[in-house]
Amino acid sequence: MSGVNQKTETMKSAGGGVGVNLKYLSLIVLVVQNTSMVLVMRYSRTMEGPRYLSSTAVVLSEITKFVTCFFLVLNGNGWQIGITLRELKTEIIDKYIETLKVCIPSFLYTVQNNLLYVALSNLDAATFQVTYQLKILTTAIFAVTLLRKQILKSQWLALGMLTLAVALVQWPSGGSESSTNTNSTNSMKLVGLVAVLLACVSSGFSGVYFEKMLKGSETSIWIRNIQLGILGLVFGLMAVFVTDYNKVMKDGFFQGYNIVVWTVIALQALGGLIVATVIKYADNILKGFATAVSIVVSSVLSYFFLGDFDPTIKFGIGTVLVIGATFLYSYQPPKKPEPILPTTQQEHSDKIENKV
């Protein structure tokens, strides 16, 4: 018996070790994805040479997302192409009403992705990272109004801290630059700030709307992502036509493309899928920790390598508040165990009689 017990304990320990390893692997993946996405996109918008069209990058990102999700569905069907195509026809074409329901989040995701390029064309990576955490606030507001979710008092406090932190980070600081340079910089920052705020609103609403759709439907998340990809491609091409038609006709769809741009496209397309895959191994505290580490790493790399970020005391205080607010919002207090009511002698006797 002792040998069996020892073997059981060994198996439990091994299983626990695997769980811990997956948690930390999830943490690393989340940090790398959050950080690299922002830094590489910022670098791609400020590097020398002809600038690529962000609207075309969004289109290619949607195509990449569609292809990736298609192969995930194919894998789920045992690589049976016939079964997969029939499933897609049933879920996307035959149930076209369900597909059309995805129009709203798909349109908003397309707008959001384009806004991120605008924001990172005008804001340094560190400031963007901190300000973009306002999506926690917008998501909470829409979750309360649309999903009737209950927000804890500690979470409302965290949201207040978050708002104060972003205000501190965005507060203009006096400098010795010339009036022309200051006006130009402030104008760029204003454009970037407006883009981030609109992206936060779009992210909050579309995320909650999509969550509501998933809860009210039996359609798999990968099929939903394929629907998002198809409609996102349509909306993305419309954006190219409206905003960059003349530029595409003159210099081509792939003008300014290089390995950095393709990396941005891959990160944008696969980022959400990576997070969706690994998030089941990471609890809320780990997600908050990943966000905190990502903000710090983005700030350090933005300062030393991109050279477009000058840290200030206000930024430091704001960053600490954002990190604290993220942890506070993610923290879920343990549920109190239900009290065990004492049984009387009579109740105990009745239970024994019932069993007999």
- Would you tell me how many other CB atoms lie within 10 Å of the CB of residue 132? 23
The model's confidence at residue 290, banded by pLDDT at 50, 70 and 90, is confident
Write down the number of H helices and E strands in the chain: 14, 0
Amino acid 205 reads: F
| Residue/partner pairs of 146-149 with CB below 8 Å, 24 or more apart | 146/208, 146/209, 146/212, 147/208, 147/211, 147/212
pTM for this predicted structure: 0.79
Taking the mean position of all CA atoms in its chain, how far away is CA 134?
12
219-241 pLDDT tens trace: 788 888 899 889 999 999 999 99
Backbone angles phi, psi at 170, to 5 degrees: -85, -5
CB neighbour class for 273 (10 Å; exposed up to 12, middle 13-18, buried from 19): middle
Cα diameter, the chain: 93
Give residue-wise pLDDT tens across range 113-152.
999 999 999 998 888 988 888 888 888 899 898 888 888 8
Share of the chain above pLDDT 90, in %: 33
Residues making up the chain, counted from first to last: 356
Rounded Cα distance between 205 and 15, Å, is 39
The structure tokens listed for 255 are 């003008």
140/135 Cα distance (integer angstroms): 8
